[in-house]
Amino acid sequence: MGTGPPNGRHDRVDPSGFPHREPGPINVQRYQHVPAYAGIATFLGLPLCLTPEDLRAGGVEVAVVGAPVDMGSGHRGAAFGPRAIRSSDWIMAHTPSALMESDTRINPFNELTVVDYGDAAVDSMSVDNSMEPIRSVVREIVEAGAVPVVLGGDHSILWPDAAALADVYGAGNVGVVHFDAHADCAETFEGHLASHATPIRRLIEGEHVPGRNFVQVGLRSVLMPDDELLAWMRRQGMRSHFMAEIDRIGFAAVLDKAIAQALDGPEYLYLSIDIDVLDPAYAPGTGTPEPPGLTTRELLPALRRICHETPVVGIEVVEVAPHLDPGNTTAMNARKAIFECLAGLALRKKGIPGPSYLDPIAAGLDEPPET
C-alpha cells in the first residue's frame, strides 16, 4: 500500500492549542429533536469522537468512519458518498433515540454505543497514497474495541479495510461476506493495482484473507469475470453466488448457503456491501449499475440477519455517487443498510435467538386480544 504524501498531510492537528476536555464522545447536536436537513452532519446525528482515547473513554462499540476516495473508479463521484450517507436523508431524523427497526422493533442505539469518527485522511490526488491512511484509521477503531462501519468511497477501500481487521484479529481469521454485482478480483485495472476492481486480489495475494473465506452474493456483470478470471477465482476456492443461482433456487436459499460458508473457518467476519448489488431501480446513484439486481426487500433483511447470526467485526458500504442519485434513493438505501446492520448487531448483543428473528407483533404472530 502507498505510504502517503510527505510534509505531514495525513498528520492529525496538534490539539495542544485546543481548550482542554476530558476524552469521550462529543454531542454535536444543539437540540433534542433534529430533522435530517439540520444540525451538524454526523451519521444520524450521533456523537463525534476524534481520537482513540475518545473511543475508549466512551466505551464505544461501533464507530462510523468515512473513506472518501474515488480515484480507484472509472466513474468519479463516490468520494462524496460518505457526506451524502450522513446528511442527505429526508426521512430518518437525526435523533437516534427515536429510531426503531420496524421488523424487529429494536432501537440499536438503546443497545449499542455508536459514534461518528470523522473521515480517514485520504489523498485526493492518489488512490495508492490513500490506502495506508484508511487502513490506519480502521485499525485504530478496531484496536479501541469497536466495530468500524466504513462509508465509501469506491470499492478500492475493501483492501485497506479488511487488511486492518486482519492486522488485529490475525491473517486468515477474518472472512468476508461480499455483496456486489462485480467480482472485484482483477489483477489490475487500467494498469493500477489499487482500484475498485482489484481489492480482493490484493487481499488474497497479501495473505490477509484466504480465497475460500470470500463469500460473494449478487454477481452479474456483463464484463467480469471473464473465463480467465473465473478460473482464477475457483482456484482460490472463492464461493461466488451469481444472480443466476439466486433466480434458480431463490434468494433465501442462497443466503442460507452464504451464511454457512461464511462461518466455515474464520472466527470473525467482515461485511462488504457495494450498493450496486441492488438493482438500479433501487440504487441509480452508483458508478457501475448492473440490472437486474437484488431488491431492498431482499438485501436489507439479509444484512440484519448476517450481523445478528454471525460474528461480524466490521462493515463497509461503498460506491454511492450522489451526483448520479435522483431523488436521493441510493444514499437513503445505503443509510438504511447500515441501520439494518446496527439492528443486527444489537440483536446479537441482546442474545435474541435467530434465525431470521422478527418481532411477533410486526410479523403478525401475536394477535391483539379480543375486545
Predicted local confidence at residue 91, as pLDDT: 65
Helix, strand, coil distribution of the chain in percent, nearest 5: 40, 15, 45
Write b or e for each residue in 155-184: b if 16 or more Cβ atoms lie within 10 A of its Cβ, otherwise e: bbbbbbbbbbbbbbbeebbbbbbbbbbbbb
Where in the chain are the domains?
46-121+129-350
Pick the CATH number of 46-121+129-350 from 3.40.800.10, 1.10.3720.10, 3.10.20.30, 3.30.465.10: 3.40.800.10
230 CB-contact burial (10 Å; exposed 0-12 / middle 13-18 / buried 19+): middle
271-318 pLDDT tens trace: 999 999 999 999 999 999 999 999 999 999 999 999 999 999 999 999
pTM above 0.85, yes or no: yes
Average pLDDT per consecutive 10 residues, the chain (371 residues; last block may be shorter): 52 72 92 81 93 97 96 79 84 81 97 98 90 96 98 94 97 96 78 74 91 96 89 95 98 96 93 98 95 97 98 97 94 96 98 95 89 74
97-154 pLDDT tens trace: 889 999 999 999 999 999 999 999 999 888 889 999 999 999 999 999 999 999 999 9
Predicted local confidence at residue 224, as pLDDT: 80
Q: Contact 209/162 with Cβ under 8 angstroms?
A: yes
